[in-house]
Structures are given as structure tokens and as C-alpha cells.
């Protein structure tokens, strides 16, 4: 955590929502204790939020309630993956609806928001997003609900896409698209060139008025072998992957004000008169010039002071 935060801070990141694997109480207690400690240590530099990450069938057992209590005590967000333990996203669980009802009930009773990994698949049969939206409406859930990935929606029939997005808009669901990791993961097969980008139908979502944020996911781990906690790099890649240009319009907002609003990050991610002077300055005059170079010479300012440009050395991880 410390290494990742040091990288992010030098790159100019001001807020991070992370997902903590919480498959069993012992592991969850350890992970959340570490997170609470790190959140406190970094409170004056990066706003940190955490989501409990478990396969959704964990909410069939009493552990779901124990986890919800731990999350509430830690000031976190209740979450999960809309698949079973060891399962894949294309296999919709027979009891997905009652499981979602249980998750939302536990969150509602504790005043928690919800953040879910949904349909991270290229299988058109992965349709959990529509079930999540229907559950939010059915339970009249008043908290904020965020769904990440939602890849399979892009390979479903157009009418099905429209119906699902209409439900999401009505339910007030926000979407996080993770273009770099989904480009890396989706349609991956040894010896075969991928046939699609793995991206969610972002343009269609935004036309519906659904808030969509661009984010990174997984740095140098089994799910994504690359990355350096650099949102500028993530945004540059997203422009290419998702065709957010010609014109750029408000594409940059998907990496600033939109996620700021989704996670309720106060004034972070915005520039305003009288603000805290948390800025990144680039040697570029236009968004096109910003896109064309990696911006390694950026100037990161935190409340009027320049942040060190020295990234942590990978050797710092040798003892881990």
C-alpha cells in the first residue's frame, strides 16, 4: 500500500478508492486494520476509501453480516463481485436477486454505500448489471451504488443495452470504466490475437446521463501486469481505447470532477478560485499535446507547494 501511495502522490493523484479482498473474517480484519492505519497516515496527502471485495455468494452465510459490521466500523463501502467463489462472470447465479437484496439490506441498515465488480466478461450471458439496477429500485436503496467494469454489456444486442442502461439511469447507478485493465484482460487467449477492446459502452452510458468515471485498476499484479498508479497515463490511454476525442469535449472530467462527485471527494478534482491549489501543470498547450507525450516532466503542486518528482525505487519492494 505504501509503495503504491508514494507512486500515486508523485504522479498527482489526490484520491483513491481501493477494493480490499475480504474472503474470510480473519483476512478481512487484518486487511482492514492495515487500511485504517494507512488511511490515517496519508490523510493529509491522499483521500483514501476502501470497499470490501468478496464474491457475492458470501452473503448467503452469516459472514455477510459480520463483514458489513466490519466495514461500517471501518468507515468503508460494502461491495462484492457479482459471481460465485471460483466462478466466472458469464454464469449468472440462480439466486443473484436475493443475494443482491441481502447485500443492499445490510448496507441500508448500516448507512453504507455499495460498490460492485460487475460483468467483467466478454460473455453476453453476463447480465448482472440489469439485476443490480433492478435490485436498487426494488429495495428503494437510498445509498450510492457504483458498478465497475460492465464489459459484457458492449457485446449484447442493442435493445438489451438500451433496456439495461435505462434501468441504471432510473436507479441512479454510477459506472467506473477501467479501460487499461479490461483491454489487457478481456478476450485474452494464448496464441490468439484479441478481437475486441473489452471496454464498456461508455458513450451510450453518458448519453443516458449516467455518471461514468475513468479509473485504473490493479498495478503489477496477477490481473494487470503493468501500471504505476498514474491517472494521467490512464486518461491518455482511455482517450485512445474509448475514442473520447474529436472533439475532446468534457472527456477530462471523467478523470476529475465526475469521480470526485461519485465518491464524494469534496473539492478534489476541480480547479476553482480560492481553492486549495492542488494542481498538475503540464508542458502542453492543448489536450492534443497533452496526449502525445508521457508528461514525465509534469509539475505536481499540493496546496501551493511542489511535490517531489522522485518516484519510489522498485528496490524498495525487495524486502516484501
CATH of 2-272, picked from 3.40.50.1440, 3.20.20.140, 1.10.1740.10, 3.40.50.720, is: 3.20.20.140
Q: Is the pLDDT of residue 41 over 80?
A: yes
In angstroms, the Cα distances linking 87 to 59, 94, 231, 297 are 15, 13, 31, 44
Binning pLDDT at 50, 70 and 90, where does residue 69 land?
very high
Per-chain mean pLDDT for the chain = 95
- Mean local confidence (pLDDT), 128-156: 97
pLDDT band at residue 31 under the 50/70/90 scheme: very high
pLDDT value at position 90? 79
* Mean predicted confidence (pLDDT) in 108-132: 97
pLDDT digits (tens, 9 = 90+) for 110-120: 999 999 999 99
pLDDT at position 84 is 83
* pLDDT-based confidence at residue 2 (cuts at 50, 70, 90): very high
Q: Do residues 210 and 172 touch, judged by C-beta distance below 8 A?
A: no
Contacts of 142 (CB under 8 A, 6+ apart): 108
Task: Please check the confidence at residue 146 and state whether its pLDDT lies above 80.
Answer: yes
Active-site pick, 66, 109, 120, 310: 120
Q: Considering only 30-39, 203-212, 287-296, which range has the smallest mean pLDDT?
A: 287-296
pLDDT, residue 256, reads: 94
Q: 222 pLDDT exceeds 90?
A: no
Active site residue 120: yes
Whole-number pLDDT of residue 122: 93
pLDDT score recorded for residue 102: 98
In this structure, are residues 88 and 125 in contact, taking their beta carbons and an 8 Å threshold? Answer: no
Q: Mean pLDDT check: name the lowest of 81-90, 196-205, 295-304, 311-320.
A: 81-90
User: Residue 88 pLDDT more than 80?
Assistant: no
Between the alpha carbon of residue 8 and those of residues 14, 49, 254, the distances in Å are: 8, 14, 18
Given this model, what pLDDT does residue 85 score? 81
Kindly state the average pLDDT of the residues 125-145.
97
d(CA 138, CA 37) in angstroms, rounded, equals 37
* Residue 94 scores a pLDDT above 80: yes
pLDDT given at position 309: 87
Other C-beta atoms lying within 10 Å of the C-beta of residue 221: 11
What pLDDT sits at residue 116?
A: 98
Q: Convert the pLDDT of each residue in 259-287 to its tens digit.
A: 999 999 998 988 889 988 999 999 999 99
What mean pLDDT comes out for the span 295-309?
Answer: 94
pLDDT given for residue 87 in this prediction: 78
CA nearest neighbour of 209 among 169, 242, 249: 169
pLDDT at 218 exceeding the cut of 90: no
Per-domain residue ranges of the chain: 2-272
Distances (CA, A) of 236 to 107, 116, 158, 288, 294: 35, 25, 28, 10, 8
Per-residue pLDDT at 89: 80
In percent, the amount of the chain with pLDDT more than 70 equals: 100
Amino acid at each position: 500500500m505504501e509503495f503504491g501511495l508514494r507512486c500515486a502522490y508523485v504522479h498527482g493523484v489526490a484520491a483513491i478508492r481501493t477494493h480490499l479482498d475480504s474472503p474470510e473474517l480473519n483476512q478481512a480484519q487484518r486487511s482492514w486494520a492495515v487500511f485504517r492505519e494507512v488511511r490515517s497516515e496519508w490523510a493529509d496527502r491522499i483521500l483514501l476509501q476502501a470497499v470490501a471485495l468478496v464474491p457475492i455468494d458470501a452473503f448467503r452465510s452469516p459472514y455477510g453480516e459480520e463483514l458489513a459490521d466490519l466495514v461500517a466500523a471501518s468507515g468503508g463501502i460494502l461491495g462484492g463481485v457479482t459471481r460465485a467463489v471460483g466462478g466466472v462472470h458469464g454464469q449468472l447465479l440462480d439466486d443473484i436477486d436475493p443475494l443482491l437484496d441481502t447485500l443492499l439490506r445490510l448496507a441500508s441498515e448500516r448507512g453504507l454505500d455499495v460498490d460492485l465488480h460487475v460483468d467483467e466478461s466478454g460473455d453476453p450471458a453476463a447480465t448482472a448489471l440489469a439485476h443490480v439496477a433492478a435490485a436498487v429500485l426494488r429495495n428503494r436503496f437510498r445509498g450510492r451504488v457504483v458498478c465497475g467494469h460492465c464489459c459484457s454489456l458492449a457485446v449484447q444486442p442493442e435493445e438489451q443495452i438500451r433496456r439495461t442502461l435505462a434501468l441504471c439511469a432510473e436507479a441512479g447507478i454510477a459506472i467506473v470504466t477501467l479501460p487499461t485493465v479490461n483491454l489487457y484482460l478481456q478476450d485474452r487467449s494464448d496464441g490468439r490475437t484479441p478481437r475486441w477492446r473489452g471496454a464498456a459502452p461508455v458513450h451510450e452510458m453518458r448519453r443516458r446521463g449516467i455518471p461514468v468515471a475513468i479509473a485504473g485498476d490493479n498495478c503489477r499484479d496477477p490481473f494487470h501486469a503493468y501500471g504505476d498508479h498514474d491517472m494521467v497515463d490512464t486518461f491518455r490511454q482511455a482517450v485512445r481505447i474509448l475514442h473520447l476525442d474529436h472533439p475532446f469535449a468534457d472527456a477530462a472530467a471523467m478523470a476529475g470532477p465526475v469521480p470526485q462527485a461519485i465518491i464524494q471527494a469534496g473539492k478534489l478534482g476541480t480547479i476553482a478560485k480560492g481553492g486549495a491549489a492542488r494542481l498538475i501543470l503540464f508542458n502542453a498547450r492543448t489536450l492534443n499535446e497533452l496526449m502525445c507525450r508521457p508528461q514525465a516532466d509534469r509539475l505536481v503542486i499540493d496546496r501551493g507547494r511542489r511535490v517531489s518528482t522522485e518516484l519510489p525505487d522498485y528496490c524498495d519492494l525487495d524486502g516484501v
